[in-house]
Amino acid sequence: EPEVTQTPSHQVTQMGQEVILRCVPISNHLYFYWYRQILGQKVEFLVSFYNNEISEKSEIFDDQFSVERPDGSNFTLKIRSTKLEDSAMYFCASTRDVNQETQYFGPGTRLLVL
Amino acid sequence: AQSVTQLGSHVSVSEGALVLLRCNYSSSVPPYLFWYVQYPNQGLQLLLKYTTGATLVKGINGFEAEFKKSETSFHLTKPSAHMSDAAEYFCAVSKRSNDYKLSFGAGTTVTVRA
């Protein structure tokens, strides 16, 4: 069964460094999402992406964050200058099309900012 | 704006006992409703969803949930708990529109006693 994959599974970085989290959505999916889950807190929506542009973003998704689909398969989340509070599990998700409401989640990347 | 409330951050049940996880939502219009499960160190897996039609929906692993519009609830049940049901469970909602971003509840951790 097709699945969403994410790399790396774990990343440790120093505060102020840039990180890029990578996701490979299911191949025929067109809508892509990033969520994050700070330890002990609820899963929060960050951004949705369709047709090579952001559809919606939350207030968390400030200028330090960006997303890109650099080729036909990858979907990336970049944090330009990480802060301690960016430490979280980051989940990528995708849906097939506008009429498909079910999001399929990847296993997540655990980011630790020191 | 949509929001989800899960009553009880932790639920402990005996093996073979009923599992009941409560979820209430707030939305200006009836949303799509989901239950996701997260096993330790894994991503989010869809258990079941309600979009339209029959209000009692059955999901994987013997779980089911009932949408009650009058109570704005979508409680999750399983008649007989198994040790493998130990996990964190998230209720989530999305709008019935092109943007299916999910709003999650805080989650309920289920432990199963032998």
Kindly give the confidence (pLDDT) of every residue in chain B, 114 residues in length, as a single tens digit, with 9 standing for 90 and above.
778 999 999 999 999 999 999 999 998 777 899 999 998 878 889 999 998 889 999 999 999 999 999 999 999 999 999 999 999 999 999 877 766 789 999 999 999 999
Q: How many CB atoms lie within 10 A of CB B104?
A: 22
Beta strands in B1-114, from DSSP E residues, in sequence order? 3-7, 10-14, 19-26, 32-38, 44-50, 56-58, 64-68, 73-78, 87-94, 103-104, 108-113
Distance from CA of B21 to the nearest CA of A (A): 16
Our CA dihedral for A102, A107, A113, B4, rounded to 10 degrees, sits at: 40
**Residues A68-94: b if buried by 16+ CB within 10 A, e if exposed:** ebeeeeebebebeebeeebbbbbbbbb
Q: Flag whether pLDDT at A99 surpasses 70.
A: no
**pLDDT for res B113:** 95
**pLDDT for res B40:** 83
- Rounded to the nearest angstrom, the gap between the alpha carbon of residue B46 and the centroid of all alpha carbons in its chain is 9
Q: Which residues of A touch B102 (CB under 8 A)?
A: 33, 35, 43, 45, 103
Determine how β-strand A10-13 pairs with β-strand A109-113: parallel
Write down the mean pLDDT value for chain A. 92
Residue A30 gets which letter from DSSP?
-
Distance from CA of A47 to the nearest CA of B (A): 8
When scoring A58, A103, A104 by the number of chain B Cβ atoms within 10 A, the one with the most, hence best to mutate, is: A103
Evaluate whether A19 touches A79 at the Cβ level (below 8 Å): yes
**pLDDT for res A83:** 96
Distance from CA of B29 to the nearest CA of A (A): 16
Q: Which residues of A touch B48 (CB under 8 A)?
A: none
Average pLDDT over residues A71-100: 90
**pLDDT for res A28:** 87
Q: Which residues of B touch A34 (CB under 8 A)?
A: none
Q: Chain B contact for A108, CB < 8 A?
A: yes
Please answer yes or no on whether B100 and A44 come within 8 Å at the CB atom. no
